[in-house]
Amino acid sequence: KAGVTQTPRYLIKTRGQQVTLSCSPISGHRSVSWYQQTPGQGLQFLFEYFSETQRNKGNFPGRFSGRQFSNSRSEMNVSTLELGDSALYLCASSFGVREELFFGEGSRLTVL
Amino acid sequence: KQEVTQIPAALSVPEGENLVLNCSFTDSAIYNLQWFRQDPGKGLTSLLLIQSSQREQTSGRLNASLDKSSGRSTLYIAASQPGDSATYLCAGTPSGGSYIPTFGRGTSLIVHP
């Protein structure tokens, strides 16, 4: 059974650019959530999707957005990148609400 | 608002030691508590999930306990090995309102030969 797959694993962007990250959840999982991890702030919740609907959103600016497709795959987008957006972006999937979370390997974003 | 604290932040032990990692949470209205392992630059690997109705869960050399009344969970690692070196994080999922888990900052463990 395949795990959570995130692409790309590594990427380098410059300030002002935008980036799209992709996440394929475990087959059968309908909930996908995104987290930002930095050494200074730890793991911070970005947003959570279930059946193509965003049900929860963390305290991040509107430059951070996401969506979920009918096959449960999810993307997140960050526009007008800032240096502070450099982080490991993690995607997690679960079968449903309050179920066990399974994480992908993450996408390491570096903003220059 | 739930706060999750993990003490110590870092731990270095010789191989073979039994050790305990601590996780404290401020709101006892917790639905479940999950322990994860994270290797440098990698994602989180789920180790154990304890439901609020359970007191402990075991997997191999790992044993996790949950005491809601005191707001604490512990992860016990028996006979530690160098391969156990990683950061261990706990996350509490609330039972009411938002169901988004709150993560601790983790305990960085080094097991030296």
pLDDT in tens, B55-90: 999 999 999 999 999 999 999 999 999 999 999 999
**A105 vs B42: CB contact, 8 Å cut-off?**
yes
| Residue B24 DSSP one-character state | E
Is residue A108 within 8 angstroms of chain B, CB to CB? yes
User: CA of B45 to nearest chain A CA: how many angstroms apart?
Assistant: 7
Contacts with A32 from chain B: Cβ below 8 Å: none
Three-class SS of chain A: CCCCEEECCEEEECCCCCEEEEEECCCCCCEEEEEEEECCCEEEEEEEEECCEEEEECCCCCCEEEEECCCCCEEEEECCCCHHHCEEEEEEEECCCCCCCEECCCEEEEEC
pLDDT of residue A1 exceeding 80, the answer is: no
Q: What is the pLDDT of residues A36-89, one digit of tens each?
A: 999 989 999 999 999 999 999 999 999 999 999 999 999 999 999 999 999 999
Candidates A9, A43, A109: best to mutate against B (most CBs of B within 10 A) is: A43
Of B43, B46, B93, the CB nearest to A106: B43
Q: pLDDT tens, B7-59?
A: 999 999 999 999 999 999 998 889 999 999 999 999 999 999 999 999 999 99
Q: Are A21 and A6 contacting, i.e. CB atoms less than 8 angstroms apart?
A: yes
Which of B99, B103, B107 should be substituted to probe chain A, the one whose Cβ sees the most A Cβ atoms within 10 Å? B99
Residues of B in contact with A105 (CB under 8 A): 42-43
